Amino acid sequence: MTGLTKGLLAYLSSAVALGSLLSGPTAYPFRDLQQAIVAELYRSLTFYVAPVSSALGDGISLTRYGFTLSTSHGLYPLLGLLIAGLLAGLCAGRSGSVVAPLLGSALVFGLWQLTGFYLLPQLYGQYEWVGVLNGLNEFLLVSKPLELLALFSIPLIGSIPAGHLIDSSAEKPQPLFYRSSRR
């Protein structure tokens, strides 16, 4: 497995695990286990989509049938992104320390959108879910443009130094002067 693949897997797994752990308990309106797992995945990814607003206390919260989606968790999303980037950099090394968290952040945002297309129609009515998804995207892309910038840049803060730290410790130091074979 390449360093990029290791870093990407470390980023995604740590981001989903930390998002699920730190987003708090909630009730699931689904009786099917697979739908509840998708709902938990969506909730753990929603944890990261608005890290700046969360730190400023200006997040959004949606509740339907006891199932709560919230982006208001204080500094925890920023710390979670930083830790995920750090783990991605440690696993990817110098070669993938930039690309792995960028791809991981793109996958977090893309998976959040895709699972929203699956989950929101089940929580809301036939046409109401489009308005909810439109409101979420308007919040992220129009009202709060720094959210996506933070989603992509915060993991790099931890990933780049960690990748260089790991690879520099594995390198053999080169001597400053070489002895010549001629005399």
pLDDT in tens, 82-96: 999 898 888 887 766
Asked whether 147 and 49 are in contact (CB, 8 A), the reply is yes
pLDDT of residue 182: 60
Query: How many Å apart are CA 84 and CA 31, to the nearest integer?
Result: 31
pLDDT of residue 168: 61
In the predicted structure, residue 79 carries a pLDDT above the cut 70: yes
pLDDT in tens, 45-68: 888 888 888 888 887 777 776 666
Nearest to 48 by CA among 155, 162, 160, 163: 155
Query: How many Å apart are CA 30 and CA 78, to the nearest integer?
Result: 30
pLDDT in tens, 95-126: 667 788 888 889 988 898 898 888 888 877 77
Please report which confidence band the pLDDT of residue 28 belongs to, taking 50, 70 and 90 as the band edges.
confident
Please report which confidence band the pLDDT of residue 21 belongs to, taking 50, 70 and 90 as the band edges.
confident
In the predicted structure, residue 183 carries a pLDDT above the cut 60: no
Q: What is the SS3 assignment for 11? A: helix
Model pTM?
0.80
Q: Mean pLDDT in the chain?
A: 81
Asked whether 112 and 45 are in contact (CB, 8 A), the reply is yes
Show the DSSP H helices in the chain as ranges.
3-22, 33-46, 51-56, 76-96, 99-123, 128-138, 146-170
In the predicted structure, residue 6 carries a pLDDT above the cut 70: yes
Please report which confidence band the pLDDT of residue 167 belongs to, taking 50, 70 and 90 as the band edges.
low
Please report which confidence band the pLDDT of residue 171 belongs to, taking 50, 70 and 90 as the band edges.
low
Give kind and range of the element (H or E) at residue 126. Answer: none
Q: 3: number of CA atoms within 13 Å, CB side?
A: 17
